[in-house]
A and B are shown apart, each in its own frame.
Chain A
Amino acid sequence: MIPRTLFQKIWDAHVVHRLPEGPALIYVDLHLVHEVTSPQAFAGLRLTGRRVRRPDLTIATVDHNVPTGDRLVPIADPVAARQLEALERNARDSSVELFDLRSPHQGIVHVIGPELGLTQPGMVIVCGDSHTSTHGAFGALAFGIGTSEVEHVLATQCLVASQPRTLEAHIIGRPGTGVAAKDLILALIGQIGTAGATGHVIEYTGEAIRALSMEERMTVCNMSIEAGARAGLIAPDETTVAYLAGRPRAPQGAAWTRAAEQWKRLRSDPGAEYDVGVALDAAAVAPQVTWGTSPGMVKDIAGRVPHPSDFPTAAEQRAAARALEYMGLAPGMALEGLPVDRVFLGSCTNARIEDLRVAARVVRGHRVAPHVRALVVPGSQQVKVQAEREGLDRIFREAGFEWRNSGCSMCLGMNADILQPGERCASTSNRNFEGRQGRGGRTHLMSPAMAAAAAVAGRLVDVRGWTLADLPGSLELAS
């Protein structure tokens, strides 16, 4: 038999039918739905008299536009409220399970899927959201789709898709103290570019990946889309199985034993060939900070803002010049020391319990700088409850952070959590696009430890040196 990649195995197992023109009809095991990209899909079904084929494989939650303040206060934005009501109605009419604002399991769709054990190795998972790539951390083929395709999956439980190519990102070595999974993926995107993996599924391999926790793997896979990839994948192993054990929607009893055995065997065959290969040495990666308006515009924290003439093509030079103007930066400026106005700890990239623990460890015993407004938005209500059980909320509150309910919040600013024009934000989210966090807002992407340190220092700092010099006692950042 020809050795196959992990991607190829999952793909082959989900081909319902190969269409004569080339693409395949692919079966979807889990369809996640949220309020912003689904109303037109449900409306389309109503218009054509079609129904949701497999409500039992469809799960809905509200996350993108929900307020993160007091849940007892009615939603101030009537348009947002209308969208939430529409999802409630659509879910009810179609017998789709919905985790709404009253549910203890509500949260960002890519946080609750894994948390509930809905996300499982070997599955095909889709959602009308580009960060669906997150679920690839479990060895599931997971990718974002548009609303027309959401409607297609609702009606048929299938998707018409051409087979993507494969890219192996082999990450060797061990990251140093204070270097997080976020730094690895930002460094990789910096290396291959924001379109470096377009048309490809990335499989992350190597000892640096194997050593990551499930939550760290989710951070890596989450940002695959920021490299242009269709999806990101990490082969399941003992870490994966241990994470899923006992989760409410994971298989139970004999079915669990059988599934766990199968999952541990699900990996690329030795000698399987990828279309493209890239390599990264984790030991050489420093904490990363973006300086521009695209995730590929990234540097070591010790680096300097580049000059547009550093870039090879006229198009890149124009983009860099434009980014510098938007970001209010000049070529040659040091990134370290850049003052920040806001800090956002949240998003489907970095708002899980481990992220909050690391950030709390940096913050403990300190105060947020007087000119900084800092926000913690847990990725789900379950993460929030767990953090409160561990006393993390107290650490954040005492330091001067706002402690919120879960949602996408300031990652995309669809609710009231937005930057004001010109405000500079240290953010644990995934996109530093112009206006992403609010019109005129200036986003610097970084890890939770780096963002937490920036909140305390009031400026961008290298959490490694800063830790040793300024924190009492010894502090182990890397778990």
Chain B
Amino acid sequence: MQPFVRHVGKAAALPRTNVDTDQIVPKQFLKRLERTGFGPSLFHDWRYRPDGAPNPDFELNRAEAHGATVLVTGANFGCGSSREHAVWALAEHGFRAIVAPSFADIFFANCCQNGLLPVRLLAREVDELFRRCRAAGGEYWLTVDLEQQRVEDGLGFTAPFPMDPYRREMLLRGLDEIGRTLLEEPRIAEYERRRAAGTAP
């Protein structure tokens, strides 16, 4: 996994709530056998008109969103289906961090598995980011620092964000979680023995 320590990148605003993973990657694109190739399907039905032309009304199609690597969006982002394809698509499109007031649980876990940093800020802080992003008209940059657990714009906005120590460590070091768990193999085997003997807790 690609480590995440600190990222400086252009922000794009998607001020919508309850963005579900069916919107992030519609189901017709879930038939691939690989983890790659999902970038072009990101937000497909919002991004493209039925005839395939880009939809100029969609927030991320506007010129000011081009090249953005930090997505600022509404509450309960990533709700619905567990499809990790949604995270693969966001990452492949170039996003490195998602800033929102809240995330759906499975989506949050999927982000952390892929080095895409989910950043929880207060709703009023996210509203402030929407405002600043709009006012900047296309060149609004954010620094997302996992080590300091802080988001800043260098223009006075600064906010801390929570991240549990386990996930923080995994992300900072880009660790292979399976490899780490396999180090606990003796404990797993011991648990299985106790279970089989009926003496598990």
Contact = CB atoms under 8 A, between A and B. Distances in A.
Interface of A: 12-13, 15-17, 19, 21-23, 25, 27, 36-37, 39-40, 43, 48, 50, 64-65, 77, 79-80, 82-83, 86, 128-130, 144-149, 151-152, 155-158, 160, 162, 164, 194-195, 198-199, 225, 228, 230, 294, 315-316, 318-319, 322, 412-414, 421, 431, 433-436, 439-440
B31 A25 contact: no
A129 B85 CA distance: 12
Given A21-B164, A37-B82, A130-B82, A414 B105 contact: no
A414 B31 contact: yes
B76 A146 contact: no
Given A16-B184, A25-B184, A421-B50, A433 B164 contact: no
Interface in B17-35: 17-18, 20, 22-23, 26-28, 30-35
Contacts of B76: 194-195, 198, 228
A43 B33 CA distance: 8
Contacts of A164: 105
A290 B36 CA distance: 35
Identify which of B34, B50, B181 gathers the most chain A CB atoms within 10 Å of its CB. Answer: B181
Nearest to B46: A434
6 contacts: A13-B200, A48-B178, A65-B31, A157-B188, A322-B16, A435-B23
B33 A21 contact: no
B106 interface: yes
B33 A39 contact: yes
A155 B74 CA distance: 35
Contact of B34 (A40, A152, A162): A40
Ranked 10 nearest A-B pairs via Cβ: A148-B113, A21-B166, A146-B110, A146-B84, A195-B76, A144-B82, A147-B84, A39-B33, A79-B31, A130-B82
A36 B30 contact: yes
Given A21-B169, A43-B34, A156-B181, A414 B27 contact: yes
Identify which of A43, A80, A152 gathers the most chain B CB atoms within 10 Å of its CB. Answer: A152
A436 B177 CA distance: 32
A317 to B, nearest CB: 10
Identify which of A19, A82, A151 gathers the most chain B CB atoms within 10 Å of its CB. Answer: A19
Contacts of A156: 178, 181-182, 184, 188
B165 A22 contact: yes
Contact of B22 (A146, A198, A435): A435
Interface string B119-155: 0000000000000000000000000000000000000
Contacts of A412: 22, 27, 81
Contacts of B182: 50, 155-156
B79 interface: yes
B93 interface: no
B106 A160 contact: no
Interface in B162-188: 164-166, 169, 177-178, 181-182, 184, 187-188
B79 A228 contact: yes
B5 interface: no
A105 to B, nearest CB: 23
Interface residues of B, number: 53
Contact of A162 (B18, B85, B164, B187): B164
Contacts of A17: 184, 187, 191
B87 interface: yes
Given A48-B178, A156-B182, A157-B188, A146 B113 contact: yes
Contacts of B18: 194-195, 294, 319
Nearest to B33: A39
Contact of A80 (B17, B31, B35): B31
Given A36-B31, A43-B33, A319-B18, A194 B84 contact: no
A165 to B, nearest CB: 11
Given A23-B166, A144-B82, A439-B45, A83 B106 contact: no
A158 B201 contact: no
A430 to B, nearest CB: 9
Contacts of A433: 20, 22-23, 80
A439 B79 CA distance: 19
Given A129-B82, A316-B17, 8 more contacts: A16-B187, A27-B188, A79-B31, A130-B82, A149-B110, A152-B178, A294-B20, A433-B22
B87 A151 contact: no
B67 interface: no
A152 B166 contact: no
Nearest to B200: A13
Interface in B68-113: 74-76, 79-85, 87, 102, 104-106, 109-110, 113
B15 interface: yes
Contact of B33 (A13, A82, A158): A82
Contacts of A434: 22-23, 45
Contact of B50 (A80, A322, A440): A440
Given A22-B166, A319-B18, A198 B80 contact: no
A148 B180 CA distance: 14
